[in-house]
Each structure stands twice: as C-alpha cells, then as structure tokens.
Amino acid sequence: MVGIVVVAHSRVLARAAVALAEEMLQGQHVPIVVAAGLDEETFGTDAAQIAEALVEADQDGDGVVVLMDLGSAVLSAEMALELLEDNDARQRVLLCPAPLVEGLVVAAVTALSGAGRVEVAAEAVAALAGKQSQLGPFVPSGQTEQEPQGGDDTVSGRFQVTPDHGLHARPAARLVQALQGLDTRVELRNLTAGSGWVPGASLSRLATLGALQGHDVEVRASGPQAREAVEQVLSLARRNFDERTSTHDPAGAGAGAGVLGGITTERGTSDDGTTEATGGPLPASPGIGIGPARLAGESEPVPTKPVPTEPVLARPVLARPVPTADSSAEPVEDPAEGRRRLDAAIDAVKTQVREIRSRVARDVGEADAAIFDAHLALLADPELLESTRSRISAGQAANSAWANAVSVAAAGYESLTDPYLQARAADVRALGNQVSRHLLGKSDPTEQPAQRGGVLVAADLTPTEAATLDPGRVAAVVLAFGTPSAHSAILIRARGIPAVVGAGADVLRIADGTPLAVDGSTGELIVNPSAAELTRFRERATAAQDRNRQALAHAEAPAITRDGVEILVGANIGSIEDARAAAESGADMVGLVRTEFLFLGRSKAPEVDEQEAAYRGLAKTLTGRRITLRTLDVGGDKPLDYLSQTVEANPFLGVRGIRLALQRPGLLADQLLAMVRVAHDVPVSVMFPMVSTLDELIRARRVLDAAIKRVGRGEPAGLQVGIMIEVPAAALKAATFAPHVDFLSIGTNDLTQYTLAAERGNDTIASLADALDPGVLQLIDATCRGAGSRTTVAVCGELAADERAVGVLIGLGVRELSVTPRAVPGIKQAVRALVLPETTALAARALVAPSADAVRNLLPTAPL
C-alpha cells in the first residue's frame, strides 16, 4: 500500500489533519507518517526528520506520496530526497502539490483502495474540485481569468439555465448527446458561479458546474463544426433542454416535508406500551401500504475490505455509503485484459439500460424514460472511461479502477450545494455498481424480495430496480437512504407504489416478515403497528380501494349523473401504449392525441404515409372509439431541431401551436392529409391548438379542406373539427368560434398560466398557477356560455382529472372530460355521484369565491 508523509511547520496542525483523514478511513489502516515541527512547540521543518519518515512510510515498497503545507516545507522535502541513500526508494517518492487538508483526506482514501502513488497524488491534487465547483476560480479585482489560446475557428455563446433543477442529469445528458458525432471540442463554464471550463462531452464534469436555474453559462467550441456545436447547445437551452415543467413538488419534498411522519420502534419496549419515534422518513410516493417487511439484499458488490466513498465532499446527502472495491478482492490481471473486461461490462449494462428505458417509456412515459439517457451518457463519459483505463494501466484491477473513478465522479455531484443535484450522486454510484456487478460476476439480488409481496425495505434502489417493481406485489417501499427527488423515487411514484425515503439505517435491521404500515403521502411509517393503528391505516386503504374497485368494475359503463346527464370521459394519449391503457381503462374516446410523439427526437418530419400508419395503429388499438388528433403543438417550450426558428424573448407568447403550423403550411398540409385518410375509416376529430383569432381558425380550415380534396373521397362522415381554448381571448370569444367548429376543448394548464401570468414551470410562483382560481373558472364559464347548445365543451387539462373538481366543471357546462388513462375509472365514478342542479349551484358559488382556496373549501373533502 502507498504510504503518505505529512510535512508541516506545526506538529499540532499535522496531527489534526491526520486525525481528520483517519476519521474517513473508518478504522482501517493507511501508513501515514508525520514529519512536522522542530519539536512539540517549535515551528519549522527538518529534512533529516522527513527522510526518516519517507523510509518508515514506504513499508510495503509501494512508494510514498508527500503532502506539504507551505514555503520551506517544500524545500525541506526536496532536501530529504537527496538524503535518501537508496536510489530506488528515492524514485518511489512523489512530492504532491495538493492542498494539505483536502489532499490528505482524499489521498488516504485513495491509498486504501489499493491505488498506485501516481493515482493517489492525482486524486489529492483534484481535491479542490469540490470548492472550485461551488466558488469558482479566484480572480483578483482588475484581472481576468487566463484564457487558453484559441484559434480563428473558436465560436462562443451564452445561455441562461432554465430547467427547474438546473443543469442536472437529464438536461446534461441531452447536451452530451447533442454534441455526439460533431468534429469539435466544446467547453462550458458557469459565469454566475465563476467556475472554470469543463468539457461538454463529459457528463460527470458538467455536474461540477453547479449550474442552477437562472445561472448564466458560456459555451465555446473550436474545430470544423464549432459553429454547429454552439448552435446545438443554444437551441437546447432555448427549449429548456426538452425538460417538462411542473407546477408543484410531486413528492412533497419542499422545506419541512416529512415532519408529519415518523418511524416507530417495535412494541413493548417502553413501560407504558407506547411507541417511540426514532426518525423522520420523507414522503416520496402517495398511498397506503400495509404488509410484511421484505428486506432486499445489498445491491452493491461488497468487497473484502470495504472502502468509504471518496470525500471531496462535506457529507453524503441521504445517500447510502457505497463501498468501492479493493484491488485485493480481484486477481491480478493483465491491463489489456482488464480493459477488455471493463468494456464488456459497460456494454452489458448499456444493453440493460436500453431495455429498461424502452419498458419505462412504454409503461410510464417518455419523459420519465429520459432518466436513462443520462445513464447511457455517463457510461460513455470520456473522462470517466479514461480515468478508469489509466488506473488499469497503472496496475489496478478493473473493478477497483472503475469503482474509484466512479467515486470521484459522484463526489463532483456531492460537492454541490443544490440538494437536487446532490441527489444525483446516488444515481452515479448505483450505475457504477451495475457495472461492478458484471465485473465481479455478481447477480442482482434486489428484485427477489419484491416478488414475494409485501413492503420492500432496502438501503436504496437504483432507477433500474425501481422501474422493474411490480405494483401488484409490492405494497409499499421503504428506503433507508435516498431523497424524494432521486430518480428511483420518481420512478416509484410513476408506478403508483406508496413509498417513504430517508428513513434511516435502523430500518435495515427490521426483521424480515415484520408487519409494517406506510403512508407515502405523509411519510408515516409504523413498525409492528398496534391493532388501533392497523385499523386506522386499513380504513384509509379500504376507502381508497373501495373507490378504485367500484370505479374499475364500472369502467366500461357510461358516466351518467344521478339525474340522467351523460358525460363522456376520454383519455389523453401520446403513444400506442397509452392507447392500449385507454382502452383497458374504459375510456369512451380519446380526447387528445399528442401527435408530437411522431415528430420529436428525429432529424426530419415524418412522411404522410408514416403519420397515417401511426394514426391507424392508434385507432385499431382503440377498437372504433373516436380519436381526437391535435395538430402539431410545438414551438415555444417544445421546438423541433429541424425547424429553424427565430430566438424569442418569450417563446410562450411567440410562434407556437397553430401560429407555427400556419407558417409551415406544408407541414400542416401533410399532417391533415394523413388525418383525413384515417377519418374515412374511423371517427376522427381534428383539433387545432393555441388558436387566439378567428382568422387563424379560418386559415387552418382551408388547409383541411384542401386535404379533403386531395384525398378525393368527399368529406369523411365522422369528421369533426375543434379548437383548444388555451388563451383568455379565445375563451371570451367562444361565441365567435362556435359556428365554425363542432367542439371547444379547454386546456386548463395553459389557460391557467396565461390568465394568471404565472408560468407553470416557475416554482417560485407555482402557488399562483391554480386552475381553481375563480378567474380561470369564469373563463371556463364564458366558454360554455359562448359555445351554446350546439357546440360541445370539453376539458383536457389537469383539472379534468381532479375528482373533487368534476362537479364544478359539470356545473359550468362542460360535457366531456379527457384525462390520463389511469384516471378514467375514477372520474367516471365521480360523475355518477353528481346531480346536475347541485353542480350548477356549486359552480355558481365557485364563480364568486374570492380565491382558489375558497373554491377548494366548497368541494367535497374526498372523492365521492
């Protein structure tokens, strides 16, 4: 093992630094020798003392790394080398320029992993990365940071970071992907934080930018395709890195989340028989779960000598400490063989990740599946791979080299100040463990406990493990570590499994089979619940199950109010998988097909025949139900790479929806031609998005009429035409539009943001963007009144899926609701509990209420 010598002017200082480093070693031994001070109290350095320390530290003959504090310490260390009589011993010593404290901590951990002296010194020098990523390089007033020499082909630009959580894994992965295949070198730096330049091809280095929402980032590129590369990055930035926006924290992970809950210990430990709280789990996925504890095995390969994670960090952020592998756990191998095994393991994991990504995209949606794009980018990260290969070439075994390189990459995330970005470190380590399992020939044991049914208890789950959980068997998930914003928690929520996270290491000592009660909405976790507590949880669960059971049992039946008014309940879909789910959930029709799924993620628009085949595939899956095909709704926050658009100061108020389609008449004509072809065989409704003037509608209808003529079979008998009501002007002019359409479909998400001037992706004003605001309800009322009796009014925004709010919408005059496929049965059941006069009275009160909260207080306390 490599030894370390600490040279300092103060013996007290040196011993304190060593004590800090040893704290990180968790009782394991690394040869660290102090050569500091002239005696216990006198400052100074002694070359002879240092020479003796060098000999003592090189006890295994693996070499020595010397860390020095300042000034004459360097001179004394150099002189000590000259005092060594053994030339071989002298060659095994490296004088390291790393900072003493940070460098010593990292050097000690790296030495314990079995790394050679070059790697130990290199990691020690890199120990400042954490501070630099947060504080940036220091530039004295009046001076500028030294720029590398650039050639005539250097192109630069800058952008502001807009995603909710900054330049985290998904947007960073999209940036890396956008640059793939370009003949150029791209670098970025965080101007707001004053960071140094990092390579755009490295996902792990991009993390060290610490680029949060609102930060300004500069990008520069050199090489033959430099301009194209910079334009790609700026295009990504303009469209929010293709990130979806959110109006709230779905996990309740904001300040104070989790204070309602508490894990309680086993019964009978206190004299009065009451439970004792031992911690505060965080709510991560809503719902009630009751069942026996099913403990998962450790998902990481545990080496013979566990090594703590490399701390460039202040502390781990609710993430399990993942041990890295010690080279002694693996046989010595030829470097070429080690690199071959590494490449094979990475390829195997890439295949796994791609398979999981496809499954998540099918079952959950493309947005959540994009999590795995970051995993694929990390597996191809040139810096991570080069670091690993260098370690292998220096003599480390493949798994040891990979584990240590991953630890350094994860430390880049952990050193950041933003909790969401810090949480990505756990994802990096989890992915590293997948590769390590292949390198060590280990199977993945974590899925087995889940197959037995019950409450899955684990230290943490990788996103892959979370994505493969079976909601039919897993009653709930309890994680000792992790955060509500971790990708594993996102995927657990997407699968509808109740979960709490950050429950603490004590939960790992719960005996398998122990009864557990979990409330993923509040963070409440009870171990060995009493009869009264079980009753309380079961009543909650039973009420929800009864509602769900009744809804599912009658899902195929029409939704008719108690006084005989039928309300159509449809589904919003964006794929064949969504269509299948809609059919299975009993949807009466499809109220919104997001046709963008055909146009995104490709280099050119789909041909007419491809579009027709896709729409026919949806229709076949829906077995004759009416499908509402919304024409391409891009621009603004959803641009297409192959459609050049002028940069807009406020794209939400710019060229988007029907405005963009009318500027690209060929694109719209092709899409309408495909829709008309299908409409001759199945019921089709064509819907135009973001209409704000009658002229826009008339022009769009002319393009539709032209498509009907091109098909040459006359107007399809079942063809209907409608528009989306998404801007206040359209709602107020509903009577103007009504004679020209068969239906008006209200998109409450956009209507709310435009009415309240509250962008729905802006967390700081998310509370304003409430669709139950009386102002929004008054616009829905205006739409219904303007539509009259001959034009149907539908709602396809998120408000339609609120079972408590259905009565208000029906009372205002809405007669169609379109929601996610999973929500269809529940919404139908909510409709069946209504009586029209009562909904009319409720709507009237809501229209004059002073606030959204006041409206909410008028609604039933739970779904009927």
Place of tokens 């001076």: 143
* Paired strand residues for 439: none
**CB burial of residue 539 (10 Å; 0-12, 13-18, 19+):** exposed
Strands 262-264 and 524-527 come out as parallel
Strands 474-479 and 454-458 come out as parallel
Measured torsion, CA atoms of residues 37, 39, 41, 47, in degrees rounded to the nearest 10: -20
Alpha helices in 602-717 (DSSP H): 608-621, 658-663, 665-679, 694-711
Dig out the tokens for 719 from the structure: 């063809």
Name residue 343's amino acid.
D
Q: Measured in whole angstroms, how far is the alpha carbon of residue 434 from the centre of its chain?
A: 19
Whether the Cβ atoms of residue 727 and residue 753 lie closer than 8 Å to each other: no
User: Minimal CA–CA distance to 657: which of 614, 603, 693, 707?
Assistant: 693
Name residue 545's amino acid.
Q
Whole-angstrom distance, CA of residue 713 vs CA of residue 235 = 42
Whether the Cβ atoms of residue 239 and residue 196 lie closer than 8 Å to each other: no
Whole-angstrom distance, CA of residue 442 vs CA of residue 448 = 14
Whole-angstrom distance, CA of residue 394 vs CA of residue 771 = 61
Neighbours of 851 (CB within 10 A): 12
Whole-angstrom distance, CA of residue 787 vs CA of residue 731 = 10
Q: Measured in whole angstroms, how far is the alpha carbon of residue 152 from the centre of its chain?
A: 39
Place of tokens 């031609």: 673
Maximum CA extent, the chain = 102
Whole-angstrom distance, CA of residue 782 vs CA of residue 792 = 13
**CB burial of residue 597 (10 Å; 0-12, 13-18, 19+):** middle
Whole-angstrom distance, CA of residue 237 vs CA of residue 350 = 27
**Sign of the dihedral defined by the CA atoms of residues 747, 748, 752, 753, in that order:** negative
Q: Provide the annotated active-site residues.
A: 487, 796
Whether the Cβ atoms of residue 207 and residue 172 lie closer than 8 Å to each other: yes
Distances (CA, A) of 235 to 62, 199, 231, 648, 709: 51, 18, 6, 11, 38
Whether the Cβ atoms of residue 86 and residue 109 lie closer than 8 Å to each other: no
Alpha helices in 479-530 (DSSP H): 487-494
Place of tokens 């194209």: 228
Q: Is 570 helix (H, G, I), strand (E, B) or coil?
A: strand
